[in-house]
Amino acid sequence: MAEPDNAELLALEHEGDLASFCPHCHAPLNMYDAGTRRVWVGLAVRVNGAACGLLLDPRLDASERRCSDGWNDGDLAEDVICPHCEASLLEADGRCERCEAPVFGLEVSVHTRVVPLALCTRAGCPWHGISTRTRAKILAESPRQKKPEQDAMLRVRNFSEVSYGYDGEQAVAEAGRCLQCKKPTCVDGCPVGVDIPGFVSLIAGSEFAAAAQRIRLRNALPAICGRVCPQDQQCEKLCLLGKKGEPLAVGALERFAADFERETDQVRLPRRATKTGLRVAVVGSGPAGLTLAADLGVQGHSVTIFEALHKAGGVLVYGIPEFRLPKSIVEAETGNLRRLGVKFELNSIVGKLYGLQELFDLGFDAVYIATGAGLPGFMGLPGENLCNVVSANEYLTRVNLMKAYLFPEYDTPAPKGRRVAVVGGGNVAMDCARTALRMGAREATIVYRRTRDEMPARDEEIQHAEQEGVRFHYLTGPVGYVGDEQHWVRQLQGVRMKMGEPDESGRRRPIPIVGSNFLLDVDLVIVAVGAGPNKVLFEGAEGLERNARGYIRTFTESGRTSVPKVWAGGDIVTGAATVILAMGAARQAADDMHAYLSDGQTAWL
């Protein structure tokens, strides 16, 4: 057995944060190298029959070879031996997840704790082949990079974006936490199947623009999804790191890559295929419509989007507030679509200005309906039509789309209140409460009938709302509203709830507690209890089947409807859901539409 070059190495016991020991004789393996003035872990290695020395950084992020000429790049070590007891450190059934190299074990002490480690000897393997389990453990202990944010006390007085996003250094550090799993479960959690390990490893290598392009292969709106996707319920929920510690910040990294690309003017859109001459009409310019338009535009079809409002983006412009998704970003993304040749017809209501069949008469070969769930939900309670009881849709539309936060510079006012109650527990409710604070409310209270755990809002939004001082009344629900003689709302009549048995949706059903009624002084109530399908579209859409709740009935995964050559997707099919689910549906529809149109198929269902 060959010794490492001991002339320059001195045995050390505990030096620095980490100390390594042989698992057999427990001899300390850390050594001080006077030449490099660093502490290394010294091991004996056999390569191509020759004995060599291997030095590993105690933090396992660098290695150095001390050997004769025999060890070439890419050569695998045949055996790893403890220089003290000469026992083989190889683990019988261990294999590096990435490079399939054999694995060997060390005892490593982190501060005072003893953590077993397994390492492979593959030179050039970024993680030196530490087995997944161990790597996960180490990475999970490394803290997730925090997104810098505006101070909560300051931001409740402005509409600038709450979160600033990572800088390059943080993004690289966070991307380095990715395990690069061979079978990435995070991708399974993504409705549009973004290559998450792929773009994350590009960020880790500081190739930010390339990372954004990698995302763009599957997702036409990365800057938007990085901000509004419920990552905690999708990709990040399935991240292996999350099993032991904090999951990788996929959303923040996606946002970083997209922002970098846009801000440095490096947006490179996919190349358009040659024109097919086929025309597709898209009804609604929300997330589903935009995604489908982008996909089909790239495939060479000529796409026209019909939008009822005066701005493209649907819920992205009327619903999601400026402080969560700056409208300049939506404009940049719709601008990218225009560059792909997608046409926008604003102020054009399908169902009023054009009937569905009329679109075919105008020469469109296929129609995609993505009108969303735009009908505000009310609860039918007494006093719901009092002044200053408004739907979340109205409140957010006034503030976001019509820019009431700039009133009177912009002409549209928004209802004002000092004590604001928001009924509901979704993202929309959080948006309303946080908007109300920014519009000058003294206090904003969320009235939600279940508990915090059941709230459907994104974790980040709930946390932000809590930081900003939004009050939460859990297990309470409104039963009516009391107004003054001028018909303005003054009090919310509420009742306390307890959690009952789970209902069909699997969530436990809240049951009112008899006699627990209470009054809450309010002067503005925002009702954010979900949304339904707007029926305007269905005027002049004979034969388009709908389900009992009024949503469009689809007959295939891809969203084919009862009318030939008409697809539908997004909230108008599923009921109110998330941006990314709508985009996922649009991706499927786009693939199916492309196949149908280019094959000249005739069979519909």
- Residue 347 CB, nearest approach to other proteins (Å): 4
Give CA angle at 249 (248, 251), nearest 5°: 135
Q: Which is nearer to other proteins, 59 or 416 (CB)?
A: 416
- Residue 113 CB, nearest approach to other proteins (Å): 57
Q: Which is nearer to other proteins, 88 or 348 (CB)?
A: 348
- Ranges assigned E (strand) in 440-584: 443-447, 471-473, 476-483, 489-502, 508-512, 518-521, 524-527, 531-532, 566-568
Q: Is 261 helix (H, G, I), strand (E, B) or coil?
A: helix
Q: How far apart are the first and last CA of the chain?
A: 73
Rounded Cα distance, 15 and 9, in Å = 14
Q: Which is nearer to other proteins, 413 or 502 (CB)?
A: 413
- Residue 108 CB, nearest approach to other proteins (Å): 59
CB 171 within 8 A of CB 261: no
Q: Which is nearer to other proteins, 86 or 542 (CB)?
A: 542
CB 145 within 8 A of CB 63: no
Pick the closest to residue 569 from 557, 225, 107 (CA basis): 557
Rounded Cα distance, 444 and 266, in Å = 41
- Sequence-distant (≥ 6) Cβ neighbours of residue 455 within 8 angstroms: 425, 426, 448, 462
Q: Which is nearer to other proteins, 236 or 307 (CB)?
A: 307
Q: Which is nearer to other proteins, 412 or 574 (CB)?
A: 412
Q: What is the DSSP string of 193-237?
A: ---HHHHHHHHHTT-HHHHHHHHHTT-S-HHHHHHHS-GGGTHHH
- Residue 531 CB, nearest approach to other proteins (Å): 9
CB 431 within 8 A of CB 322: no
Q: Which is nearer to other proteins, 170 or 391 (CB)?
A: 391
CB 45 within 8 A of CB 88: no
- Sequence-distant (≥ 6) Cβ neighbours of residue 428 within 8 angstroms: 319, 392, 396, 528
Q: Which is nearer to other proteins, 163 or 391 (CB)?
A: 391
Residue type, 281: A
CB 83 within 8 A of CB 42: yes
| Number of other residues whose CB lies within 10 A of the CB of residue 470 | 24
- Residue 393 CB, nearest approach to other proteins (Å): 5
- Residue 472 CB, nearest approach to other proteins (Å): 25
Rounded Cα distance, 293 and 272, in Å = 12
Q: Which is nearer to other proteins, 231 or 397 (CB)?
A: 397
Alpha helices, DSSP H only, in 389-497?
Answer: 392-396, 427-438, 459-467
Rounded Cα distance, 460 and 321, in Å = 15
- Residue 515 CB, nearest approach to other proteins (Å): 28
- Residue 411 CB, nearest approach to other proteins (Å): 4
Q: Which is nearer to other proteins, 61 or 411 (CB)?
A: 411
Rounded Cα distance, 381 and 177, in Å = 50
Rounded Cα distance, 452 and 459, in Å = 10
- Residue 410 CB, nearest approach to other proteins (Å): 5
Q: Which is nearer to other proteins, 346 or 519 (CB)?
A: 346
- Residue 365 CB, nearest approach to other proteins (Å): 21
Q: Which is nearer to other proteins, 240 or 421 (CB)?
A: 421
- Residue 422 CB, nearest approach to other proteins (Å): 15
CB 282 within 8 A of CB 292: yes
Rounded Cα distance, 329 and 308, in Å = 20
Q: Which residue in the block uniquely carries the two structure tokens 């490593």?
A: 108
CB 298 within 8 A of CB 275: no
Q: Which is nearer to other proteins, 32 or 378 (CB)?
A: 378
Q: Which is nearer to other proteins, 97 or 431 (CB)?
A: 431
Answer positive or negative: Cα dihedral of 207, 210, 212, 217. Answer: negative
CB 446 within 8 A of CB 430: yes
- Residue 540 CB, nearest approach to other proteins (Å): 10
> Peptide bond preceding 502: is omega within 30 degrees of 0, i.e. cis?
no
- Residue 426 CB, nearest approach to other proteins (Å): 17
- Residue 397 CB, nearest approach to other proteins (Å): 5
Give the footprint of other proteins on this chain (CB under 8 A): 308-310, 318, 346-349, 352-353, 374-376, 378, 380, 384-385, 387-388, 390-391, 393-394, 397-398, 402-403, 407-413, 415, 486-487, 534-536
What are the Cα distances from residue 224, in Å, to 87, 290, 330, 402, 430?
Answer: 55, 12, 7, 20, 18
Give CA angle at 140 (113, 456), nearest 5°: 135
Rounded Cα distance, 219 and 583, in Å = 8
Q: Which residue in the block uniquely carries the two structure tokens 């679109």?
A: 359
Q: Which is nearer to other proteins, 32 or 488 (CB)?
A: 488
- Residue 583 CB, nearest approach to other proteins (Å): 21
